């Protein structure tokens, strides 16, 4: 790797020990890869805060027997059809469904969609997993 640079980092012994425990638990092969991952994570956060084009996944768990809930969720998704690139509906049991919604677009639009979906009465749980399009990451 011709562009690989080495640099030193000073840390308190206790913090380094905690970091080593963390990277072992997460199965990183070495400290360098763990640092790279932490840096990328912060760069992705910056992309989201800057309003760049980003990608993500919205996960919803809800009771599909709840009156009009499915129709409300579908109506909201139609309002954001330019942001949604894919959806998957999974029947968890007789009452509960899992909906996975893959999204791409401006960070503000994706956050608004996720917040709107999560706030619908009858949605038991919702999360937004943020990521990058990968264009600016190495």
- If we measure between CA atoms, which residue out of 69, 86, 77, 83 comes closest to residue 121? 69
Q: What percent of the chain has pLDDT over 90?
A: 72
Given a cut of 60, is residue 70 above it in pLDDT? yes
Mean pLDDT of the region 23-33: 94
Q: Where are the alpha helices (DSSP H) in the chain?
A: 13-25, 31-50, 69-79, 107-118
What's residue 35's pLDDT? 92
Tell me, what's the pLDDT at 103? Answer: 98
d(CA 110, CA 58): 9
Evaluate if residue 91 carries a pLDDT over 70: yes
CA distance 20 to 133: 30
Checking if the pLDDT of 107 tops 60, the result is yes
What is the token pair recorded at 42? 């912060």
Architecture of domain 52-132 in this structure: 2-Layer Sandwich (3.30)
Residue 60 burial by Cβ neighbours in a 10 Å radius (0-12, 13-18, 19+): buried
């Amino acid at each position: 790797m011709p562009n690989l640079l080495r640099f030193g980092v000073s840390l308190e012994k206790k913090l380094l020990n905690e970091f080593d425990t963390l990277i072992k638990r997460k199965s990183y092969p070495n400290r360098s890869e763990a640092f790279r991952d932490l840096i990328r994570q912060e760069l992705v956060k910056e992309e989201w805060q800057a309003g760049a084009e980003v990608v993500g996944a919205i996960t919803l768990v809800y009771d599909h027997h709840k009156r009009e809930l499915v129709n409300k969720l579908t109506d909201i998704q139609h309002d954001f059809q330019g942001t949604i690139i894919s959806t998957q509906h999974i029947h968890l049991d007789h009452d509960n469904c899992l909906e996975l919604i893959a999204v791409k677009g401006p960070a503000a639009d994706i956050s608004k969609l996720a917040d709107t979906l999560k706030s619908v009465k009858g949605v038991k749980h919702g999360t937004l997993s943020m990521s990058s399009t990968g264009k600016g990451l190495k």
